[in-house]
Chains A and B, each alone.
Chain A
Amino acid sequence: MTLALVFLVFGALGVVLLSMNALLGPKRTNPTKEKPFECGSPPLQDGINPFPIKFYLVALLFLLFDVEVAFFFPWALVFKSMKGTALPILAAYLAVLAAGFAYAWKKGAFSWD
């Protein structure tokens, strides 16, 4: 029961906070407000030109390993109740991802310039 209550309250709170700004904020635009904020001076380039690919690669790898770390939290919660089998399971899980990490490193994904 409390789980439902928690989801209800926090869900409602999230919705209210997000919609309050959309609902209450006055909408008055002018041509300057549409332009990107570049410390007040006129932008030197209009539009965004192509980015080097290595940024996308780093972003993807970060996402991968960040989600990996995210799975530690539920594992930590049930750590006590698993009585001893927790560590080998985590080791297996990490080994798989470490292999991926070593592969990326060898392929040169992390060499920057």
Chain B
Amino acid sequence: MTEAIIFYLFSTVAVVSALMMISVRNPVRAAFYLVLSFFASAIIWLLLQAEFLAIVLVLVYVGAVMVLFLFVVMMLDLNIVEKESGFTRYFPIGIMLAAITFFSIYYVLGQKESGMDVFQSQPLSTAASHVEGYSNTKELGKLLYSEYVYAFEIAAMLLLVAIVAAISLTYRRRPKTRHQNPDLQVSARHEDRIRIVKIPVEERK
């Protein structure tokens, strides 16, 4: 019963904030709504006993990715026009299309012969009963570094690509900015800094 309340509460939050996210015009607000949606989802993930991932979602997503989003939004210094509608002209058709997609998903999941019947009667709590001392994190870690080591390496490469790409795309050398050159700084000798010039004394006439 508690589970059901938690589920309905947080799924409502997730869905409503998702809806808000796509309908507000201000990207900063949208980002915050997305964060909210992520939080709610994380709680639902906890409900499904995916503790590690729930934490990762909050840490990585909310902590890093969404901050990056906000950072970019702020950096770009956008001027948001509030008056115009932010939606396309065929907004209703678009909504209808999304609704069709959703209802076909809904229909499939509700079908008896869809292949879902094996799960249908299973309540949440008994679905996966773990022995005492079971650790979701440990279990994932074991798999990750043994069976999925290949995938893990590719994922590492992916992050490297992201770094290289992001830097090479956004980095620009501004010709007029003054920047330090540590190499020169360190190798500077005092002769370079001070030049003692002997000025001949001139007698005042």
Partners in one complex: no
Binding site for B on A (CB under 8 A): none
The interface of chain B, by Cβ under 8 A from chain A, is: none
